[in-house]
Amino acid sequence: MITDVLIRQAKPKDKPYKVSDGGGLYLLINTTGKYWRLNYRFAGKQKTLAVGVYPAVSLIDARKKRDEAKVLLAKDIDPSVTKALNKRAARTAAESTFQVIALEWYAKNQHTWTESTAMTIYRFLEKDIFPWLGNRPIKDITAPDLLAALRKIESRGAHEKARRCRGYAGMVFRYAVATGRAERDPSADLKGALAPVKTKHYASITDPKAIGALIRAIKGYTGSFVTKCALSLAPLVFVRPGELRHAEWSEIDFDRKEWRIAAHKMKMREQHIVPLSPQAIEILQTVKLMTGHGQYVFPSIRSGSRPMSENTINAALRRLGYEKEEMTGHGFRSMASTLLHEHGWPHEAIERQLAHAERNAVVAAYNYAEHLPKRREMMDWWADYLDELAEGAKVLSLRS
């Protein structure tokens, strides 16, 4: 029988040779290394099983693998087939980890999200889910496993982020179920397990006198000219900040006086029409002299091939002296909604202009032009109203 000393002293020769240990186990020695092999018969045929490479597989380990193979043979099971099945199972498990499936799901759905949404989802998965669950086979992940990862997010006080990560993880699990790599979605068992999230309201100014002061401050902005134009346009169109900074010249129709935002850029995934008031047209014509040669209306100061940074508008408001608790780029939406409702404009027209979700999904696919004549009238009135507030005049509702 082979000994450890014999194995260590065995040197390669001109031709490969074997050193037998008994029971069909032997060490094959050649110029590239020392390999454990097991000869056996199954179904009347001579076969050889690769047991491992010395010294990674020791003499004791090799004998143990030989004995395990003998047990299988006694049960009329082919050790080579068992090894192949185990190898395939290990490979399948490696290809079916949460991270592998999540990245596959992400790649298939990325084109349906806005750029900012796609970046947010990837960042959440990479920083808050993958470190704890990424290398786990997805079919083995339980609700307590997922909850433990989400609790780490909650421990930082990021309750809203924990809730959203649960939602994204649930989408990955459901994709795994649909593709046959998991049996169920454990995120569904966590309903009520996370701390409740307080409704977050974006800071906004709704007092007419304060709005007038804000518009005057914007007119006096002394930073980047492109930023000033974006800041000046924001209250006139009250779109979401991401929609404003991703505005492209190909979407602006000066003849029809409207801005048509493609569905893939919108939160509700439907085309959105923004009627442009004379004041908005003037701002766009002015900034076009500087940026009209490129793709974006408001490009990044570092690269014309990218849109303005998501923090630019808020940073400009801070430069004007408005703290984040007072006013944000998103706050122009609630500003417009509050004042337009107070002045009697139809709720349906306001909601449609804000591009809020529709109750009827079928209607929503075709209603981007709904209430458009009234919305054009409303947007012109709103621009004039802001001008009057900026001039400090007492404004009476044209609706009243």
Number of domains in the chain: 3
Element holding 235 (H helix, E strand): helix 225-237
| CATH number where 247 lies | 1.10.443.10
d(CA 20, CA 3): 11
| Residues 6 or more apart whose Cβ sits within 8 Å of residue 82 | 72
Which among 8, 13, 127, 356 is annotated as catalytic?
356
Same domain? For 111 and 246 the reply is no
Distance CA(49)–CA(331), nearest Å, equals: 70
In a shared domain, residues 89 and 109: no
Looking at the structure, do residues 159 and 217 belong to the same domain, yes or no? no
148-153, long-range: CB < 8 A, 24+ apart:
150/190, 150/194, 152/128, 153/128
144 shares its domain with 174: yes
Q: For the chain, first and last CA: distance in Å?
A: 105
Query: d(Cα 133, Cα 341) in Å, to the nearest integer?
Result: 47
Point out the catalytic residue in the list 181, 240, 246, 265: 240
The amino acid present at 221, given as its one-letter code, is Y
- Catalytic: 366? yes
| Catalytic residue (choose from 63, 333, 375, 376) | 333
In the residue annotation, 330 being an active-site residue is answered as yes
pLDDT in tens, the chain (400 residues): 788 899 889 999 989 999 999 899 999 999 999 999 999 999 889 999 999 999 999 999 999 999 999 999 999 999 998 888 888 777 766 678 999 999 999 999 988 887 778 888 999 999 999 999 999 999 999 999 999 999 999 988 888 899 999 999 999 999 999 999 899 999 999 988 888 766 556 789 999 999 999 999 999 999 999 999 999 999 999 999 889 999 999 999 999 999 999 888 887 677 889 999 999 999 999 999 999 999 999 998 887 788 998 889 999 999 999 988 889 999 999 999 999 999 999 998 898 999 876 544 444 444 556 788 999 999 999 999 999 999 985 544 454 4
- The single residue listed with the structure tokens 């990424």 is 134
Together in a domain, 234 and 334 = yes
- Please say if 66 is a catalytic residue: no
- Catalytic residue check, 156: no
CB 26 within 8 A of CB 19: yes
pTM score, whole prediction: 0.54
Catalytic one of 330, 352, 375, 376: 330
Show the domain range for 66.
4-93
Of the residues 267, 288, 306, 343, only one is catalytic, namely: 267
H or E stretch covering 381: helix 372-391
Boundary-marking domain end, from 93, 117, 138: 93
What DSSP character marks residue 111? G
Task: Confirm whether 333 is a catalytic residue.
Answer: yes
356 in catalytic set: yes
